Amino acid sequence: MSDSPVVELIDVQKWYGAFHVLKDVSLSVAKGEKVVVCGPSGSGKSTMIRCINRLEEHQGGRIVVNGVELADDLKAIELIRRDVGMVFQSFNLFPHLTVLENLTLAPLWVKRVPKREAEAIAMQYLERVRIPEQAHKYPGQLSGGQQQRVAIARALCLKPSIMLFDEPTSALDPEMVKEVLDVMIELAGEGMTMICVTHEMGFARAVADKMVFMAEGRVVEVATPAQFFTNPKSERTRQFQGQII
Ligand code: ADP
Ligand code: MG
Protein backbone atom coordinates (compact mmCIF):
# COMPACT_ATOMS: atom_id res chain seq x y z
CA MET A 1 0.00 0.00 0.00
CA SER A 2 1.32 3.40 -0.91
CA ASP A 3 1.69 6.10 1.71
CA SER A 4 1.02 8.95 -0.69
CA PRO A 5 -2.08 10.95 0.26
CA VAL A 6 -5.36 10.09 -1.47
CA VAL A 7 -6.51 13.69 -1.20
CA GLU A 8 -4.05 16.54 -1.26
CA LEU A 9 -4.75 20.26 -1.31
CA ILE A 10 -1.71 22.46 -1.73
CA ASP A 11 -2.02 26.23 -1.19
CA VAL A 12 -5.50 26.26 -2.72
CA GLN A 13 -6.94 29.67 -3.54
CA LYS A 14 -10.50 30.37 -4.49
CA TRP A 15 -12.42 33.55 -5.13
CA TYR A 16 -16.14 34.16 -5.50
CA GLY A 17 -15.86 37.24 -7.70
CA ALA A 18 -13.70 39.63 -5.70
CA PHE A 19 -14.17 37.69 -2.44
CA HIS A 20 -11.15 35.56 -1.51
CA VAL A 21 -12.93 32.60 0.08
CA LEU A 22 -10.10 30.01 0.34
CA LYS A 23 -6.68 31.32 1.28
CA ASP A 24 -3.63 29.04 1.05
CA VAL A 25 -5.65 26.00 2.07
CA SER A 26 -3.51 22.90 2.40
CA LEU A 27 -4.69 19.52 3.58
CA SER A 28 -3.39 16.01 3.21
CA VAL A 29 -5.56 12.94 3.72
CA ALA A 30 -4.14 9.42 3.79
CA LYS A 31 -5.95 6.28 2.68
CA GLY A 32 -8.44 5.25 5.35
CA GLU A 33 -7.99 8.45 7.28
CA LYS A 34 -10.98 10.23 8.86
CA VAL A 35 -10.77 13.99 8.86
CA VAL A 36 -13.28 16.17 10.67
CA VAL A 37 -13.49 19.79 9.52
CA CYS A 38 -15.11 22.38 11.75
CA GLY A 39 -15.20 26.14 12.08
CA PRO A 40 -17.57 29.07 12.14
CA SER A 41 -20.28 29.55 9.56
CA GLY A 42 -18.91 31.22 6.44
CA SER A 43 -15.33 30.05 7.03
CA GLY A 44 -15.17 28.16 3.72
CA LYS A 45 -15.76 24.57 4.86
CA SER A 46 -18.39 23.77 2.23
CA THR A 47 -16.42 25.54 -0.46
CA MET A 48 -13.31 23.52 0.35
CA ILE A 49 -15.14 20.21 0.35
CA ARG A 50 -16.97 21.09 -2.87
CA CYS A 51 -13.66 21.88 -4.57
CA ILE A 52 -12.49 18.31 -3.90
CA ASN A 53 -15.02 16.89 -6.37
CA ARG A 54 -15.09 19.99 -8.51
CA LEU A 55 -18.56 21.18 -7.64
CA GLU A 56 -16.58 24.40 -7.27
CA GLU A 57 -13.50 25.40 -9.20
CA HIS A 58 -10.33 26.62 -7.48
CA GLN A 59 -8.19 29.30 -9.06
CA GLY A 60 -4.80 28.74 -7.49
CA GLY A 61 -2.79 25.98 -5.90
CA ARG A 62 -3.32 22.28 -6.57
CA ILE A 63 -5.86 19.61 -5.69
CA VAL A 64 -4.81 16.01 -6.30
CA VAL A 65 -7.20 13.12 -5.69
CA ASN A 66 -5.98 9.53 -6.00
CA GLY A 67 -2.98 10.80 -7.92
CA VAL A 68 -5.10 12.72 -10.45
CA GLU A 69 -4.83 16.49 -10.49
CA LEU A 70 -8.07 18.44 -10.73
CA ALA A 71 -7.66 20.83 -13.59
CA ASP A 72 -9.73 21.67 -16.64
CA ASP A 73 -9.36 18.16 -18.05
CA LEU A 74 -12.90 16.78 -18.10
CA LYS A 75 -11.68 13.18 -18.07
CA ALA A 76 -9.82 13.81 -14.83
CA ILE A 77 -12.90 15.41 -13.28
CA GLU A 78 -15.07 12.48 -14.31
CA LEU A 79 -12.52 10.01 -12.96
CA ILE A 80 -12.39 11.76 -9.61
CA ARG A 81 -16.17 12.16 -9.30
CA ARG A 82 -16.63 8.43 -9.72
CA ASP A 83 -14.36 7.80 -6.83
CA VAL A 84 -15.59 10.48 -4.47
CA GLY A 85 -19.04 10.17 -2.88
CA MET A 86 -20.71 13.21 -1.42
CA VAL A 87 -23.47 13.66 1.14
CA PHE A 88 -25.00 17.09 1.62
CA GLN A 89 -26.82 18.76 4.46
CA SER A 90 -30.01 18.86 2.41
CA PHE A 91 -30.14 15.20 1.24
CA ASN A 92 -30.57 16.19 -2.44
CA LEU A 93 -32.65 13.14 -3.35
CA PHE A 94 -34.82 13.20 -6.48
CA PRO A 95 -38.37 13.62 -5.10
CA HIS A 96 -40.11 12.06 -8.11
CA LEU A 97 -38.08 8.84 -7.94
CA THR A 98 -38.47 6.05 -5.40
CA VAL A 99 -35.68 5.30 -2.98
CA LEU A 100 -34.59 2.35 -5.12
CA GLU A 101 -34.68 4.49 -8.28
CA ASN A 102 -32.61 7.18 -6.55
CA LEU A 103 -30.02 4.54 -5.71
CA THR A 104 -29.86 2.90 -9.12
CA LEU A 105 -29.97 6.04 -11.28
CA ALA A 106 -26.22 6.75 -11.42
CA PRO A 107 -25.11 3.09 -11.53
CA LEU A 108 -27.49 2.50 -14.49
CA TRP A 109 -26.72 5.64 -16.46
CA VAL A 110 -23.21 6.59 -15.43
CA LYS A 111 -21.64 3.22 -14.82
CA ARG A 112 -23.85 1.19 -17.18
CA VAL A 113 -24.44 -1.48 -14.57
CA PRO A 114 -27.22 -3.92 -15.64
CA LYS A 115 -30.54 -3.14 -13.92
CA ARG A 116 -30.83 -6.31 -11.83
CA GLU A 117 -27.31 -5.94 -10.59
CA ALA A 118 -27.81 -2.25 -9.79
CA GLU A 119 -30.94 -3.11 -7.82
CA ALA A 120 -29.19 -5.89 -5.93
CA ILE A 121 -26.36 -3.54 -4.98
CA ALA A 122 -28.87 -0.86 -3.96
CA MET A 123 -30.74 -3.30 -1.71
CA GLN A 124 -27.47 -4.37 -0.16
CA TYR A 125 -26.67 -0.75 0.79
CA LEU A 126 -30.21 -0.08 1.99
CA GLU A 127 -29.71 -2.99 4.35
CA ARG A 128 -26.41 -1.52 5.47
CA VAL A 129 -28.17 1.73 6.40
CA ARG A 130 -31.01 -0.32 7.89
CA ILE A 131 -33.96 0.78 5.74
CA PRO A 132 -34.49 -1.95 3.11
CA GLU A 133 -38.23 -1.78 3.78
CA GLN A 134 -38.33 1.80 2.43
CA ALA A 135 -37.07 0.85 -1.05
CA HIS A 136 -40.31 1.53 -2.88
CA LYS A 137 -41.31 4.72 -1.10
CA TYR A 138 -40.67 8.26 -2.30
CA PRO A 139 -38.26 10.52 -0.38
CA GLY A 140 -41.15 12.74 0.79
CA GLN A 141 -42.63 9.76 2.62
CA LEU A 142 -39.48 9.29 4.73
CA SER A 143 -38.21 11.03 7.85
CA GLY A 144 -35.17 13.31 7.54
CA GLY A 145 -32.93 10.70 9.16
CA GLN A 146 -34.14 8.05 6.74
CA GLN A 147 -33.65 10.38 3.77
CA GLN A 148 -30.10 11.11 4.83
CA ARG A 149 -29.40 7.39 5.16
CA VAL A 150 -30.76 6.94 1.62
CA ALA A 151 -28.37 9.69 0.49
CA ILE A 152 -25.45 7.85 2.10
CA ALA A 153 -26.52 4.56 0.52
CA ARG A 154 -26.86 6.29 -2.84
CA ALA A 155 -23.30 7.58 -2.64
CA LEU A 156 -22.03 4.13 -1.61
CA CYS A 157 -23.71 2.44 -4.60
CA LEU A 158 -21.04 4.00 -6.82
CA LYS A 159 -18.37 2.26 -4.70
CA PRO A 160 -16.39 5.41 -3.90
CA SER A 161 -13.02 5.18 -2.21
CA ILE A 162 -13.48 8.57 -0.54
CA MET A 163 -16.62 9.99 1.11
CA LEU A 164 -17.22 13.68 1.67
CA PHE A 165 -19.87 14.77 4.16
CA ASP A 166 -21.02 18.38 4.45
CA GLU A 167 -22.88 18.83 7.74
CA PRO A 168 -24.95 15.69 7.14
CA THR A 169 -26.87 15.97 10.40
CA SER A 170 -27.40 19.68 10.78
CA ALA A 171 -30.77 19.72 8.99
CA LEU A 172 -32.10 16.87 11.12
CA ASP A 173 -34.32 16.87 14.18
CA PRO A 174 -32.20 15.97 17.21
CA GLU A 175 -33.71 12.50 17.62
CA MET A 176 -32.59 11.56 14.09
CA VAL A 177 -28.98 12.65 14.38
CA LYS A 178 -27.82 9.43 16.02
CA GLU A 179 -29.18 7.07 13.37
CA VAL A 180 -27.18 8.94 10.73
CA LEU A 181 -24.01 9.22 12.84
CA ASP A 182 -24.22 5.49 13.62
CA VAL A 183 -24.11 4.73 9.89
CA MET A 184 -21.14 7.06 9.47
CA ILE A 185 -19.31 5.50 12.42
CA GLU A 186 -19.87 2.07 10.88
CA LEU A 187 -18.49 3.28 7.56
CA ALA A 188 -15.46 4.70 9.35
CA GLY A 189 -14.92 1.34 11.03
CA GLU A 190 -14.82 -0.34 7.63
CA GLY A 191 -11.83 1.74 6.61
CA MET A 192 -13.45 4.31 4.32
CA THR A 193 -11.46 7.49 3.75
CA MET A 194 -13.73 10.26 5.03
CA ILE A 195 -13.71 14.03 5.15
CA CYS A 196 -16.60 15.24 7.28
CA VAL A 197 -17.64 18.80 7.90
CA THR A 198 -19.55 18.53 11.15
CA HIS A 199 -19.98 20.12 14.54
CA GLU A 200 -20.90 16.79 16.12
CA MET A 201 -17.96 16.69 18.47
CA GLY A 202 -18.95 13.31 19.93
CA PHE A 203 -18.63 11.86 16.45
CA ALA A 204 -15.31 13.66 16.00
CA ARG A 205 -13.92 12.21 19.23
CA ALA A 206 -15.10 8.74 18.24
CA VAL A 207 -13.76 8.56 14.68
CA ALA A 208 -11.47 11.44 13.73
CA ASP A 209 -7.81 10.79 13.08
CA LYS A 210 -7.36 14.45 12.37
CA MET A 211 -9.26 17.63 13.25
CA VAL A 212 -9.12 20.61 10.94
CA PHE A 213 -10.29 23.99 12.18
CA MET A 214 -11.07 26.67 9.59
CA ALA A 215 -11.73 30.36 10.06
CA GLU A 216 -12.06 33.12 7.50
CA GLY A 217 -11.01 30.95 4.59
CA ARG A 218 -7.88 29.57 6.20
CA VAL A 219 -6.91 26.34 7.87
CA VAL A 220 -6.09 27.66 11.33
CA GLU A 221 -5.30 24.40 13.07
CA VAL A 222 -4.72 20.74 12.22
CA ALA A 223 -4.47 18.47 15.24
CA THR A 224 -5.26 15.06 16.60
CA PRO A 225 -8.57 14.99 18.50
CA ALA A 226 -6.61 14.59 21.74
CA GLN A 227 -4.67 17.79 21.09
CA PHE A 228 -7.61 19.59 19.60
CA PHE A 229 -9.96 19.02 22.52
CA THR A 230 -7.51 19.38 25.38
CA ASN A 231 -4.89 21.81 24.20
CA PRO A 232 -5.67 23.67 20.99
CA LYS A 233 -2.80 25.78 19.76
CA SER A 234 -4.71 28.76 18.45
CA GLU A 235 -6.76 31.23 20.43
CA ARG A 236 -9.31 31.25 17.59
CA THR A 237 -9.88 27.50 18.06
CA ARG A 238 -10.33 27.95 21.82
CA GLN A 239 -12.95 30.64 21.29
CA PHE A 240 -14.84 28.46 18.84
CA GLN A 241 -14.79 25.48 21.17
CA GLY A 242 -16.12 27.71 23.93
CA GLN A 243 -19.14 28.37 21.74
CA ILE A 244 -20.00 24.86 20.61
CA ILE A 245 -18.79 22.34 23.17
P1 ADP B 1 -19.11 27.34 5.48
O2 ADP B 1 -19.48 26.08 4.83
O3 ADP B 1 -17.90 27.28 6.33
O4 ADP B 1 -20.27 27.97 6.23
P5 ADP B 1 -19.04 28.39 2.78
O6 ADP B 1 -17.95 27.69 2.06
O7 ADP B 1 -20.44 27.97 2.50
O8 ADP B 1 -18.73 28.40 4.34
O9 ADP B 1 -18.96 29.93 2.45
C10 ADP B 1 -17.80 30.70 2.65
C11 ADP B 1 -18.07 32.14 2.23
O12 ADP B 1 -18.27 32.20 0.85
C13 ADP B 1 -19.29 32.75 2.88
O14 ADP B 1 -19.01 34.10 3.14
C15 ADP B 1 -20.36 32.64 1.82
O16 ADP B 1 -21.30 33.66 1.92
C17 ADP B 1 -19.54 32.77 0.54
N18 ADP B 1 -20.13 32.00 -0.56
C19 ADP B 1 -20.46 30.70 -0.55
N20 ADP B 1 -20.92 30.29 -1.75
C21 ADP B 1 -20.88 31.39 -2.54
C22 ADP B 1 -21.22 31.62 -3.92
N23 ADP B 1 -21.68 30.64 -4.70
N24 ADP B 1 -21.05 32.88 -4.38
C25 ADP B 1 -20.57 33.87 -3.60
N26 ADP B 1 -20.22 33.70 -2.31
C27 ADP B 1 -20.36 32.48 -1.79
MG1 MG C 1 -21.20 24.95 4.91
Encode pLDDT of 98-130 as tens digits.
999 999 999 999 889 999 999 999 999 999 999
- Average pLDDT (53-81) is 92
Residue 170 Cβ < 6 Å to ligand 1: no
Residue of 12, 14, 16 with the most ligand 1 atoms within 8 Å of its CB, for mutation: 16
Q: Which residue owns the Cα nearest ligand 1 atom 22?
A: 16
- Average pLDDT (75-88) is 91
What ligand has the least distance to the C-alpha of 240? 1
Q: ipTM value, please give it.
A: 0.98
Residue 217 Cβ < 6 Å to ligand 1: no
Could you tell me the distance, in angstroms and rounded to a whole number, from the CA of residue 183 to the centre of ligand 1?
A: 28
Question: Does pLDDT of 2 surpass 70?
Answer: no
Residue 212 Cβ < 6 Å to ligand 1: no
Q: Which residue owns the Cα nearest ligand 1 atom 26?
A: 16
Please report the atom of ligand 1 found closest to the CA of residue 43.
Answer: 3
Residue 245 confidence (pLDDT): 65
Tens digit of each residue's pLDDT (9 = 90 or more) over 186-225: 999 999 999 999 999 999 999 999 999 999 999 999 999 9
Residue 42 Cβ < 6 Å to ligand 1: yes
Residue 198 Cβ < 6 Å to ligand 1: no
Residue of 13, 21, 244 with the most ligand 1 atoms within 8 Å of its CB, for mutation: 21
Could you tell me the distance, in angstroms and rounded to a whole number, from the CA of residue 129 to the centre of ligand 1?
A: 31
If you average pLDDT over every residue of the chain, what do you get? 95
What ligand has the least distance to the C-alpha of 167? 2
**Domain spans in the chain, listed from the N-terminal domain onward:** 93-159
What ligand has the least distance to the C-alpha of 166? 2
- Give a three-class secondary structure readout of the chain: CCCCCCEEEEEEEEEECCEEEEEEEEEEECCCCEEEEECCCCCCHHHHHHHHCCCCCCCEEEEEECCEECCCCHHHHHHHHHHEEEECCCCCCCCCCCHHHHHHHHHHHCCCCCHHHHHHHHHHHHHHCCCHHHCCCCHHHCCHHHHHHHHHHHHHCCCCCEEEEECCCCCCCHHHHHHHHHHHHHHHHCCCEEEEECCCHHHHHHHCCEEEEEECCEEEEEECHHHHHHCCCCHHHHHHHHHHC
Could you tell me the distance, in angstroms and rounded to a whole number, from the CA of residue 39 to the centre of ligand 1?
A: 13
